[in-house]
Structure 1
Amino acid sequence: MLRAGGAEGIEHPGGTLQAHLERVSALLSSWNARPALVSAGLCHAFYGTDGFAVALLDLGRRAELTEAIGSEAEELVYFYASCDRKASYPVLADDVGPFYDRFTGERLRPDISARRDFAELTVANELDIVAISPAYRARHGAAFLDLFTRWHPLLSEPARAHCRAVLG
C-alpha cells in the first residue's frame, strides 16, 4: 500500500516519505511498542497530517487500510492524522484536555491509553526528523523538548530516554 500510494517518490526530510515511515515504525519497535502501534507508525501519514498535507489514501477508503493493518492500528492512524495540533498539543497531558479532530471539527476527550499512543507516535515521528535534519532540529528542537517534557507522564521510559538522547 505504501508503494501504491507513492510513498517511495514523496520527498520528506531524510529522503522519502517511505523511508521516514519505516524509521518511525522501527523506532517504535525498538521502544517495545505493541504491534498495533508499530504498524500505525509505518502508516501514520496515510491520511495526511496537520503538519504534512500529502495523503496516501483518501479517508473514504479507511476500510482498505483496516484490512491491511487491522482495526486497532488503523484507528491509531486516523486518530494521529485527525489531530488539530495547535489546539490539541498543549493540553494532551491534561486528564481532561480536549482533543480536536481536524477532519470532523469534533472536540473529543480521549482516554489515557489513546493519549499515550498518540504521544508515543508523535515523539517517534518528530524525533526521527530532528535526528536526520539539522535545519529541522534548529527550527523546532527547543519547542519539542519543551512539549515532550510536558508529555513526560504519557511516554514510555524508552521514548523519554530517546528524547533525552536526541534533544538533550
Structure 2
Amino acid sequence: MFMAIDRRAAAETWLRTRGADGIDHPGGTLLAHLGRVRTLLAEWGAAGDVQLAGLCHAAYGTDGFDVALLPPDERPVLAEVIGPEAEALVYLYGGCDRGRTYPELARPVVTFTDRFGGGRHVPPESDLRAFMEITAANELDVVRHNCELADRHGAALAALFDRTRRHLSAPATHAWTAFASRSRPAT
C-alpha cells in the first residue's frame, strides 16, 4: 500500500511537470480528468497497477486525444515513475488503434492493432480486462463532463460497454448501465 501511494504521488508530480495541469479537457484539465479516472477505478476495486495506468492513460496520447506528454519511444521514463506493469497498460491503452480494435472487443479473444507501429497482438486476459476498465472509466468521466459528447456518443458507448461486459467488472458494468438508463429519452 505504501509503495502504491508513493507511486501515485510520483505520477501526479510527473504529470504536472509534463504540463497535464495546463491542458484543457472535459471537466477542467487533463490532470483533473486523469485523477477522476483513477478515482473511479479505485471505487470499482481495480488493482493498484490498473489505477496507476488509469492515472497516466493519456501519457502517449490516445486515438481519441492526440496530445502526448511523452513519446512512446521513451517508455522507460514512465516505467520508472509508475512501474513496468502499469506502464505496459498505459502503452496498451494509448497505442490502441480504436478503429481496428474496438469492433473486436465483444469477442472472448481480442486482437489489438498498435496505432504506433501497426503490429497486431492478443494481450493476456488480465491486460484486456484492465484496458476495458480504464476505457470504461475514461469514457464515463468524459460523458459526465461534456453534455455535447454525451449526446453525440453516450448511447453508442453504453452499447459498447454492454456488448463487452464479459471483460468488465460488475461495478464498471453497473456504472454504464446506470448512465444509459439516465440518458434514455422519456417515452
Confirm or deny a common fold (TM above 0.5).
yes
CA distance in 2, matches of 1:92, 1:145: 13
Could you tell me which amino acid in structure 1 is paired with residue 140 of structure 2? L
Q: Contact conserved, 1:98 with 1:107, CA < 8 A, in 2?
A: yes
Q: Contact conserved, 2:158 with 2:179, CA < 8 A, in 1?
A: no
Q: Which residue of 1 aligns with 2:5?
A: none
Please give the per-residue CA displacement for 1:64-121, whole angstroms capped at 9, x wherever unaligned: 1111101100000000000000110110231333210111101111222121111111
Q: Contact conserved, 1:14 with 1:20, CA < 8 A, in 2?
A: yes
Could you tell me which amino acid in structure 2 is paired with residue 20 of structure 1? H
Q: Which of 47, 53, 61 is the equivalent residue of 2:60?
A: 47
CA distance in 2, matches of 1:19, 1:29: 15
Q: Which residue of 2 aligns with 1:123?
A: 136
1:132 paired with 2:145, answer: yes
Unaligned runs of 5+ in 2: 1-13, 182-187
Runs of 4+ in 1 over 3 A off after TM superposition: none
TM-score (norm 2): 0.87
Deviation at 1:19, TM superposition (A): 0.4
TM-score (norm 1): 0.97
Which deviates more from structure 2 when the two are superposed, residues 57-66 or residues 69-78?
Answer: 57-66
Which deviates more from structure 2 when the two are superposed, residues 19-28 or residues 109-118?
Answer: 109-118
Deviation at 1:3, TM superposition (A): 0.9
For these two proteins, the number of residue pairs brought into alignment is: 168
1:60 paired with 2:73, answer: yes
Q: Which of 73, 83, 86 is the equivalent residue of 1:73?
A: 86
Give 1:81-96 correspondences, 5 Å limit: 81-96=94-109
Query: What is the aligned-residue identity percentage?
Result: 52
Q: Contact conserved, 1:92 with 1:99, CA < 8 A, in 2?
A: no
Q: Which residue of 1 aligns with 2:41?
A: 28
Please give the per-residue CA displacement for 1:104-145, whole angstroms capped at 9, x wherever unaligned: 101111222121111111000000011111111001011101
